[in-house]
Amino acid sequence: MDVQALYQQKRVNALDALKLVKDGDTIIVPTGAGEPPQLLTALSEERRRFHDVRVSQILTLRKFGYMDPETAEHVRHVAFFLGSPTRPGAQGGWVDFVPNHFSEIPSLIERDYYPSDVVFSMASPMDKHGYFSLSLAPDYTMAAVKKARAVVLEVNPNVPFAYGNCHVHISEVAALVESQDPVIAVGLPEIGPLQEAIAKYVADLIEDGSTLQIGYGGIPDAVVVQLKNKHDLGIHTEMIGDGIMALVENGNVTNRKKTFMPGKMLATFALGSNKLYEFMDHNPEVAMHPVDTTNDPFVAAQNDKLVSINATMQIDFLGQCGSESLGAKPHSGTGGQLDFVRAANRSKGGKSFIVLPSTAKDDTISRIVPTLTAGTHVSTTKNDINYVVTEYGVAQLRGKPVHQRVRDLIAIAHPKFRDELTEQAKAMKLW
């Protein structure tokens, strides 16, 4: 097989690639930086000539033109997780939302619970054997490639060629579009004194030799900064970002003590700076795998001393976490939070941390509450919760009866709300 000849045969421009899309199709797009801007811009420009086409993705970073309530009957976004470009549409009813655990999206596709007609994805340049690397997000995209009628790749020299189960052969590709634009870069979240205070409590409980899953956000990234004195850490996570890269460069991450795939750091999507993408390129220590490998609780738990760090917006006296909605109003999604909470609970010596500031809206609202706001989507359940951390301390809830959970949570609430929370607990017969 002459892979270079095949490559040349399949090169088209973005508008011609749209000929592979039919009315009624579902287009699967990877997470975050894996979204192909040329293809989605072309689809946006031509959206009115389609009918009932859906674009499905777990985290959109750009607001493309097709995200338009006036043309949703032509091309409609279907979100597995909401970000700032898609949140208004979900709250307004013209973006659909599919509840899911991130780890299970591949099986939804494989079992035909969710369609995959066409795949649009960013990809690295082809190697001499005819393989492209979907390094930025193999996530559920690898499962979609196997089911799709047509796979269209946006090939870009700025996309790293990574190792792992993230490769697509030229023979599987229907069309190629070439681009030269820089991969979208995302900076680190802002870290202030509050985030640092919470991070210090978490870091003090992380032992040398632990394997880390670190979510995105100010508090998880503040934890990374606090780990510069730890040794022989490993990485088995959903997202690889600049914070993890900094720990590798500082010598804190060696992956030597991992008990699942030692010597390798695993992730299912990358999101960070151009330096991160360069770090990933042909790096034998980085292994990018589908999300049903990285996030499956059974697989991730094969790492001893697995530590998961994720954020929530509200927690009630039982330990239920509302991490994805403001009451009934959708805000984000479950993502991989519960995947890794359960993985850490199964892991020998594992620890799961749910982190949150004690208050919201300039200290006028307590995030620790007797009951979740009506309509709140429960992300981590009362049966799965382990450590809860605010800027006022740590509450370990696993195995504790409700009355003890209540006392421990009130102890880490903001002091101005502790008396009120205590009276509410007494009224509920929980004190």
Structure tokens belonging to residue 137 = 């997000």
Contacts by residues 41-48 (CB-CB < 8 Å, ≥ 24 positions apart)? 41/14, 41/65, 42/14, 42/15, 42/17, 42/18, 43/18, 43/75, 43/120, 44/75, 46/15, 46/18, 47/71, 47/74, 47/75, 48/74
Residue 308: which of 336, 289, 286, 266 has the closest Cα? Answer: 336
Q: 323: which residues sit within 8 A by CB, 6+ positions away?
A: 310, 311, 312, 313, 332, 334, 337, 354, 379, 380
Here the contacts of 187-193 (C-beta below 8 Å, separation 24 or greater) are 187/273, 188/221, 188/241, 188/242, 188/243, 189/216, 189/217, 189/218, 189/221, 190/218, 191/218, 191/221, 191/222, 191/225, 192/218
Are the C-beta atoms of 382 and 315 separated by less than 8 Å?
Answer: no
Of 172, 173, 171, 175, nearest in space to 3 by CA: 171
Active-site option among 35, 104, 154, 238:
238
CB 394 within 8 A of CB 412: yes
Any residues with CB less than 8 A from the CB of 276 and at least 6 apart, and which? 240, 241, 242, 245, 270
Looking at 307-399, list the stretches that DSSP marks H as alpha helix, in order from N- to C-terminal side.
337-346
Chain-centroid distance of CA 253 in Å reads 21
Q: How far apart are CA 52 and CA 35, in angstroms?
A: 20
Q: Is the dihedral of CA 268, 204, 387, 316 positive or negative?
A: negative
Known active-site residue 324:
no
Q: What distance in Å separates the CA atoms of residue 418 and residue 413, rounded to the nearest whole number?
A: 6
| Residue 401 burial by Cβ neighbours in a 10 Å radius (0-12, 13-18, 19+) | exposed
Q: Which residues are annotated as catalytic?
A: 238
